[in-house]
């Protein structure tokens, strides 16, 4: 299993948190998504064959690009 902790600068409300969690959770291979609205940090854990690039692309598509 792999994991990554990163910031998403445009998290501003609970709706943002919910959107990120639900969209990432729908990706096959994602095992856990934690989002902290105050610190704007996201931690995602996933299993192969899913890749970080696929996760990053989805976040960019939904307008929550990761700030690595």
Q: Is the pLDDT of residue 3 over 90?
A: yes
Q: What is the pLDDT of residue 68?
A: 82
Tens-digit pLDDT profile for residues 8-59: 999 999 999 999 999 999 999 999 999 999 999 999 999 999 999 999 999 9
- Cα separation, 17 vs 33, whole angstroms: 10
Q: What is the pLDDT of residue 60?
A: 98
The topology under which CATH files domain 2-61 is Alpha-Beta Plaits (3.30.70)
Global confidence as pTM: 0.95
Helix (H) or strand (E) holding 18: helix 14-25
Q: Please report, for the chain, the start and end positions of each structural domain, with discontinuous segments joined by +.
A: 2-61
Contact 52, 4 (CB under 8 A): yes
Q: Could you tell me which of 2, 60, 12, 19 has the C-alpha nearest to residue 39?
A: 12
Token representation of residue 58:
């989805």
Average pLDDT over residues 53-67: 98
């Amino acid at each position: 299993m792999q994991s990554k902790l990163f910031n998403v600068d445009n998290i501003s409300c609970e709706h943002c948190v919910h959107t990120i969690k639900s969209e990432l959770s729908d990706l096959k291979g994602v095992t856990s998504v934690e989002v902290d609205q105050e610190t704007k940090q996201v931690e995602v854990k996933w299993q192969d064959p899913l890749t970080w690039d696929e996760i990053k692309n989805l976040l960019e598509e939904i307008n929550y690009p990761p700030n690595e």
